[in-house]
Structure 1
Amino acid sequence: MEIPRMSQFPLFLLVVWGFGGLEAPAEAQDVHCYEAFDEATGSCHNLLGTGVATQDCCLNHAYGFQAGDGAPCQSCRSANWSQWSAWGPCSVSCMEGIQRRKRTCYGWNKGTCTEGTHEWEARSCTPQDCCPVDGGWSSWSAWSPCSVTCLRGFETRQRTCTNPAPVCGGICPGNKEERVPCDTRQICPTHGNWGNWGNWEACPATCTHEGSSQKPQQQRRRLCNNPFPSTMPPGNPCPGSDRDHQDCVGLPFCPRDGNWGAWQPSSPCSVTCGVGRVVEARRCNNPEPKYGGRNCPGQDTRNHICNTGMPCPVDGQWTEWSQWSKCERLGANFRINCEDIDGTQSRTRMCSGRAHDGKRCEGKDRIEMRSCYDIHLCSMKGTWADWSPWGLCEPACGPNPVRTRVKECKPTYENYPEQVEGQNGQMQDVNFWGKPIPKCTPLDGQKFKVEERTPCLNVPRCED
């Protein structure tokens, strides 16, 4: 076991929940083939065609497919986890609650996880430290004067939400203003106002050929009846004229509808591997629409499936580093365990999954070496570390989740030099290997670790 030197880690708790793997169709089955698979939603996009053999569609690992109408979308790649979703909303609007996020395993072939399963994480959240408390209304003000000087209007009064004022976003229920009708017992004059303009008179023609210069007049009228001006008391007449004129200019030319030309190929196959598309195009030029004539109906492009029969490249990916080997001093005939004598240890990784001339793994390191001290089961002086951060809520989707933090007895390394001279003659850091036995003054009756647990509050039900 490797102990990182003088470092502390927060405790992360994870629960895996699955809804069952999606079955991949047999290789001979014809499917709906798509150009793109969205791992954020598990959906397919850009349909290439239907009735495509699964092995042909999945020549490109970035593609996706459906076994039939309404069937779930599946990815052509090897099964692997999607990115974590964004954290969901907090389960409460105030005080402490909980929020969750998840990721999903997508892929057709066998991979690092089971297709269709979920992983969930949960953590506590506090949208705001206090909850809203409603306030109380002040007394009503005196009624205002009537809003008009003739006929009927309104009187109003107000009150304020200050008795007491609301706290933390609270409100005062009800209206802050009241109004009642009032009557001045006075008659108001009615001023005249124009009604709507009538329709323009028809022009002599509805369309014309190019070169026409006739500009006949057209007119429209309106009446002062919206409303009529009163006579007692006298109201003002409508201002302006009751007639309006304009030239019949800009008459449209008579329209000519468009018609499609012949289909013409406009692109080669869209891909050099796997399944793609060929695009054909046509122009609305036989003849073109003119003077407001209708455009050609339908689409100006159409697609056809093209199959290169060639598998697409798959780039290589580094595997995880192996565990560090035991700390040893090669060729030494003496013991280095629990001594300030440095040794060496190594770890390896492999470039796997590369196929069909895909890219090799970036970087050249397949093996790493480092200097080390063997402190496995060594008795060492220790000190109590600070409390770790609170961990995630566990279980994420089970009953009564709790979160935990710990305080640990950590070894000190007073008698070990921090650096040694490496094989290249340069000074390099030395790591500690093994699990030592630190000695601290007991805390709460514990010698090595003290743990605190607290419940997660306002936990909603899981959606799946």
Structure 2
Amino acid sequence: MGLSWLNQLHLLAVIWGLGGLETPAEAVLCYEIFDKTSGSCGELLGDGVSQEDCCLNLQYGFRLQKDAPCEACRPAAWSDWSPWTPCSVSCEEGTQQRSRTCYGQGDCEQGPRQWELKPCGLGACCPVMGGWSAWSAWTPCSVTCLKGVQTRERTCTNPAPECGGTCQGSKSETQSCDTRQVCPTHGNWGSWGPWGACSATCTPEGSGPKPRQQRRHQCNNPTPSSNPPGNQCPGSDHEFQTCAGLPFCPQDGNWGSWKPFSDCSVTCAVGRQVEKRVCNSPAPKYGGKSCPGPDTRSLICNTQVPCPVDGHWSEWSDWSDCTRHTFQGKIECQEIPGFQRRNRRCIGRAHDGKRCPGDQLELRNCYNVKSCLMPGTWTDWSPWDLCEPACGQNPMRSRKRECKPNYPNYLMNIPGTGKVTNTSFWGKPLPVCEPLEKQRLRVLEKAPCQNVLPCTD
């Protein structure tokens, strides 16, 4: 069973240091984000924060050590259900699983973890493999001289696959082919020789350009063939250029001092504060290197103020009995309207958090049909229920048909308006149906779940 709200408040008081205990604060790794689905931490704030300060915001999470699991600051609550796993089979009938986990301080109802298992089916038939046709003829060689490749293909039609099946193996093959013909060789220049050296690699403004020259090697990379004849090398075998436009010599940059760039990111609990620096001491010039490293950094900041916790509604109470105190006599099984009420509580609000929106009390008119005999009608078969047990041997599924009462066509007038609202019937009537499979109220059918997935932990 989960902790009562009073016990949860006591637990939070211990966490927040309100219980009067003078135990030493334990340093934890504090995170801005606790993922309610996966139970993981994100956005590390710092590793020198006490658990008490970290949990001033109940939306935060923490780790006791670097490799320890993430824990939520909030009171214990169930995570959302995980997505259903893929069906255990690709055809006919199998099963799917989903789970949820209890995260937070304290315990959730129904144990630390809960599973659900349901039947599934992804196709009415299973794949049937096909067979290959005979290979086609080889294509012509891909080149007209020297060696190339040629291919051939086949189709998955002998027989064709069924229900999503395929053929094993490749639909094409490739082999080399030799034309036994010599290709012509075209001439190409050898590599350029080195430029003559300039007097400097960088220069101050005002220096004049200086000439340098390079030449090509002979037309021998490769030499053009004579039979069959190849083309000669194009263009000139030499080239000139000057050393004009040499760049100024580079000057590397250096960081200035760190300066505050923002206030603390939060007004409660623990947050971040950003500092910034500028690469201007000096700034880089003429292609010099920029300053290494980031220009901003985050520091942890602690407001020492607990964050507001908004209130949330408890579950509605059951509707009260349908009664009419001003009426002398019984209203059961008659077209005499009565009245009902139900209420709920606003729980969990702390540190000036928002109050619960909406009404705390609901009223409605009703007709009392408790234990009243009524003609009934058998429902159609319900959908199949989840497989039970979700983690265990031989899970079963079930569906049912039920004898449901045919409620009378009573109307409910709203006094003073002339309007008619929906009728509310209260109490469990006694429906009367013709027997079905020797049953008068419910017919139940059970079947085993097929291809059951094993539980992971």
Report the TM range for the smaller structure's normalisation.
0.7 to 0.9
Tell me, yes or no, if the aligned pair for 1:133 and 1:171 is still in contact at 8 Å: yes
2:424 aligned counterpart, secondary structure = strand
1:341 counterpart = 2:336: yes
1:137 counterpart = 2:122: no
Structure-2 separation of matches of 1:119 and 1:242: 82
1:84 counterpart = 2:81: yes
Query: Partner of 1:366 in structure 2?
Result: 360
Aligned counterpart for 2:248 among listed residues 247, 253, 262: 253
1:301 counterpart = 2:296: yes
Aligned counterpart for 2:378 among listed residues 384, 387, 401: 384
Tell me, yes or no, if the aligned pair for 1:27 and 1:55 is still in contact at 8 Å: no
Query: Partner of 2:429 in structure 1?
Result: 436
* Pairing of 1:315-464 with structure 2 (within 5 A): 315-363=310-358, 365-414=359-408, 416-422=409-415, 426-464=419-457
Query: Partner of 2:18 in structure 1?
Result: none
1:125 aligned counterpart, secondary structure = strand
Structure-2 separation of matches of 1:155 and 1:48: 63
Structure-2 separation of matches of 1:169 and 1:195: 59
Distance 1:422-1:252 versus aligned 2 partners, 3 A rule: farther
Query: Partner of 1:119 in structure 2?
Result: 114
Letter in 1 for 2:165: G
Structure-1 separation of matches of 2:271 and 2:331: 63
2:53 aligned counterpart, secondary structure = helix
- Deviation per CA, 1:416-453: give whole Å up to 9, x if none: 41323447664322211111111111112211111222
Tell me, yes or no, if the aligned pair for 2:193 and 2:214 is still in contact at 8 Å: no
Give the TM-score taking structure 1 as reference length: 0.84
Structure-2 separation of matches of 1:77 and 1:64: 8
The gaps in structure 1 that reach 5 residues or longer are: 1-23
Percent of paired sites with the same residue: 60
Query: Partner of 2:228 in structure 1?
Result: 233
Structure-1 separation of matches of 2:207 and 2:71: 65
Letter in 2 for 1:118: R
How far residue 35 of structure 1 moved from its aligned partner, in angstroms, is 1.8
Letter in 2 for 1:442: P
How far residue 244 of structure 1 moved from its aligned partner, in angstroms, is 5.8
Letter in 1 for 2:350: A
Distance 1:207-1:385 versus aligned 2 partners, 3 A rule: same
Query: Partner of 1:60 in structure 2?
Result: 57
Over aligned residue pairs, what C-alpha RMSD do you find?
3.0
Letter in 2 for 1:405: R
Tell me, yes or no, if the aligned pair for 1:275 and 1:309 is still in contact at 8 Å: yes
Distance 1:78-1:150 versus aligned 2 partners, 3 A rule: closer
1:52 aligned counterpart, secondary structure = strand
Tell me, yes or no, if the aligned pair for 1:94 and 1:130 is still in contact at 8 Å: yes
Letter in 1 for 2:275: E
How far residue 282 of structure 1 moved from its aligned partner, in angstroms, is 1.8
Distance 1:308-1:147 versus aligned 2 partners, 3 A rule: closer
Query: Partner of 1:290 in structure 2?
Result: 285
The gaps in structure 2 that reach 5 residues or longer are: 1-13, 16-22
| More contact order relative to length (CA 8 Å, sep ≥ 6) | 1
Distance 1:117-1:191 versus aligned 2 partners, 3 A rule: same
How far residue 188 of structure 1 moved from its aligned partner, in angstroms, is 3.9
1:297 aligned counterpart, secondary structure = coil
1:209 aligned counterpart, secondary structure = coil
Query: Partner of 1:267 in structure 2?
Result: 262
Aligned counterpart for 1:159 among listed residues 124, 140, 154: 154
Tell me, yes or no, if the aligned pair for 1:135 and 1:172 is still in contact at 8 Å: yes
2:422 aligned counterpart, secondary structure = strand
394-403 or 235-244: bigger deviation: 235-244
Letter in 2 for 1:446: Q
Distance 1:328-1:423 versus aligned 2 partners, 3 A rule: farther
Structure-2 separation of matches of 1:273 and 1:39: 21
1:96 aligned counterpart, secondary structure = strand
How far residue 38 of structure 1 moved from its aligned partner, in angstroms, is 1.6
Query: Partner of 1:10 in structure 2?
Result: none
Structure-2 separation of matches of 1:69 and 1:337: 66
Tell me, yes or no, if the aligned pair for 1:275 and 1:307 is still in contact at 8 Å: yes
Give the TM-score taking structure 2 as reference length: 0.85
Structure-1 separation of matches of 2:394 and 2:402: 26
Query: Partner of 2:170 in structure 1?
Result: 175
Equivalenced residues, count: 437
